[in-house]
C-alpha cells in the first residue's frame, strides 16, 4: 500500500514538474515575443527618428544654402573689335557660395529670340571665365564675359532694328556650405540701338536653378 502511495506521489510530483516546465517555457516564449516586439518598436522608432532628422536636415539646408541668380546688364564695347556681356551674379541664400565656375557663349539669331533654346541651338564649345572663389550671402558680384565681335559686324543693323538679336547663354556651377554642387543656367537676348540692360531680356528656355 505504501509503495502504491509513494508511486502516486512520485507521479504527481513528476506531473507538477512537467506542468512547471511547460509554464516556464510558455513564459519564456512570451518574454521572447515581448523582447522581439520591443526590438521591432525600437527599430521603427529609430527609422522614424532618422527620417525626421533627414527631413529637418534637408529643410535646414534648403533654408540656409546659397542660391545664385544671374541678371543681364546689357552689352558693352570695352575696346575695338571686342564686346562684353556684364553679368550681375547675386547670392540670395543665407550662406556663401564657393568653388564658382562661369561658362558662357553667344550667338546671333534672327526672328524671335525669346524662343532660343540652348539645348537645341547652343554651340558645343563654351567660353570659360575666371571666377571668384566665394560670394557671400546677400552679395552681388559682377562678372564680364568678353568676346571678339567678328561675327556681329554684318548683323549690327539688324540687331539695332530688332530683326536679329544677340543671345548670351551659359551656366554657373557652385558649391554650398553643405558640400553640395548646384547649377544656375541663364539665357538672355540683347537687341536694340543701345543694347542696354533695359533692352536685355530672358529667353523662354535655358533659365533654371538646381
Q: Is the distance from CB of 176 to CB of 182 less than 8 angstroms?
A: yes
From the first residue on, what is the mean pLDDT of each consecutive set of 10 residues in the chain (210 residues)? 58 63 74 79 74 65 91 88 92 93 90 90 61 84 88 86 93 93 95 88 92
CA nearest 169: which of 131, 138, 123, 134? 123
Please give the pLDDT value at position 197: 86
Please give the pLDDT value at position 140: 92
Burial class (CB in 10 A: 0-12, 13-18, 19+), 170: buried
**pLDDT tens, 101-110?**
888 999 999 8
Name, in order, each residue with C-beta under 8 angstroms of 159's C-beta and a sequence gap of 6 or more: 108, 152, 165, 166, 190, 191, 192, 195
Please give the pLDDT value at position 2: 55
Please give the pLDDT value at position 4: 52
Coil, strand or helix: which one is 174? Answer: strand
Amino acid at each position: 500500500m505504501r509503495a502504491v502511495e509513494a508511486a502516486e506521489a512520485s507521479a504527481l510530483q513528476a506531473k507538477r514538474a512537467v506542468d512547471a516546465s511547460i509554464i516556464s517555457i510558455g513564459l519564456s516564449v512570451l518574454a521572447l515575443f515581448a523582447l522581439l516586439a520591443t526590438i521591432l518598436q525600437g527599430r521603427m522608432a529609430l527609422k522614424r527618428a532618422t527620417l525626421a532628422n533627414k527631413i529637418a536636415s534637408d529643410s535646414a539646408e534648403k533654408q540656409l544654402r546659397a542660391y545664385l541668380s544671374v541678371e543681364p546688364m546689357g552689352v558693352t564695347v570695352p575696346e575695338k573689335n571686342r564686346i562684353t556681356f556684364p553679368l550681375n551674379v547675386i547670392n540670395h541664400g543665407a550662406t556663401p557660395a564657393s568653388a564658382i565656375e562661369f561658362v558662357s557663349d553667344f550667338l546671333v539669331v534672327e526672328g524671335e529670340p525669346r524662343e532660343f533654346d540652348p539645348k537645341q541651338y547652343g554651340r558645343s564649345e563654351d567660353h570659360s571665365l575666371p571666377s571668384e572663389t566665394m560670394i557671400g550671402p546677400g552679395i552681388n558680384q559682377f562678372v564680364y564675359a568678353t568676346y571678339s565681335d567678328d561675327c556681329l559686324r554684318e548683323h549690327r543693323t539688324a540687331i539695332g532694328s530688332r530683326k536679329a538679336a544677340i543671345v548670351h547663354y551659359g551656366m554657373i556651377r557652385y558649391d554650398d556650405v553643405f558640400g553640395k554642387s548646384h547649377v544656375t543656367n541663364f539665357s538672355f537676348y540683347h537687341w536694340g540701338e543701345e543694347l542696354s540692360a533695359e533692352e536685355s531680356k530672358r529667353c523662354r528656355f535655358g533659365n533654371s536653378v538646381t
